[in-house]
Structure 1
Amino acid sequence: MTTITEPVIKTEGNIGRDPIYRAGTNGRRSFAAIRVLKSERRYNPDTRAWEDTGTTLAVTLKAFGATADLIGALIDQGRLAKGTPIMATGQPDAPETWTDRQGGVHADPVVIIDAIGIDLIRQARAEAARTRQNDQATRQPSWPATPAAAGEADTDGETVPGWSTEPSF
């Protein structure tokens, strides 16, 4: 027996706008749609910074039935929202076409979701980068410059309130 496998597409990127969820009613299946954007970035050794190349790929992820209901629950919990980094796999569907303000017609790929998840690694890296940027903007140390600034250690080895020998992370 010969098995024909359908192509599987892996999509990763950030959710570009708030996802849509419509619960099924009157015998109709539930529906969910998520717009994912992915921009190519390259490291510029001259500026020592990552720069966008100007190319952004937009993909619409769609789900129906029980899969859509699970996505709806994640939306209600606030776990899937604009800006969330995700990864998804699924089968290709007919592209969606749209017309821009200048009258140009565009087609964006559509994927029917088999599996979807939040990209925890990219989410953690993005949060760490934002924290670093905020820390660099304020440039104030989070520890006292000397023990005397918060209280000195007593001669018997105990510490005065306000001074800790444990680092805070």
Structure 2
Amino acid sequence: MALYEFTAKLGTGEEQSLATYRGQALLIVNVASKCGFTPQYKGLQALHEEYAPRGFSVLAFPCDQFGRQELGSDQEIANFCDRSFGVTFPLFGKIDVNGPDAHPLYVWLKQQKGGLIGSGIKWNFTKFLVDKTGLVRARFAPTTKPEGLSRDVAALL
């Protein structure tokens, strides 16, 4: 399976084919609104704004599997992201990233790039950097701030 064969529901409920992003570099992130890493939304938005004109997008996937830090509905999550961080990158509907109900995209991402202590997602704001051909090039821990990824993103554009 390849990245562009997956679909996922946007926060608005519409099914979105990831083929829409063919030819773009992507940063795919599982996010949460009430996490110590939530301020990273600001850095994600800055990366998106800086590099979108060159063919880059952040794709955010809310997830409530870590510390119950994403309790809201998809609409509440979108309102929070807009109000708090002015997010303009795509926000998908809430998903699971681990376990038997993990979204197929995340099953695939974890197969492509395992983490330091296994392939499972350990916490919110784990990041996968994907090149313009749909290959996963890097995986970054939640502690890696988006501001520190600028050089990696630029190298793919």
* Same fold at TM > 0.5: no
Greater relative CO (CA pairs within 8 A, separation 6+):
2
Which structure features the higher share of helix residues?
2
TM-score relative to the length of structure 1: 0.25
Structure (1/2) with the larger strand percentage: 1
TM-score, scaled relative to structure 2: 0.26
| Structure (1 or 2) with the larger CA radius of gyration | 1
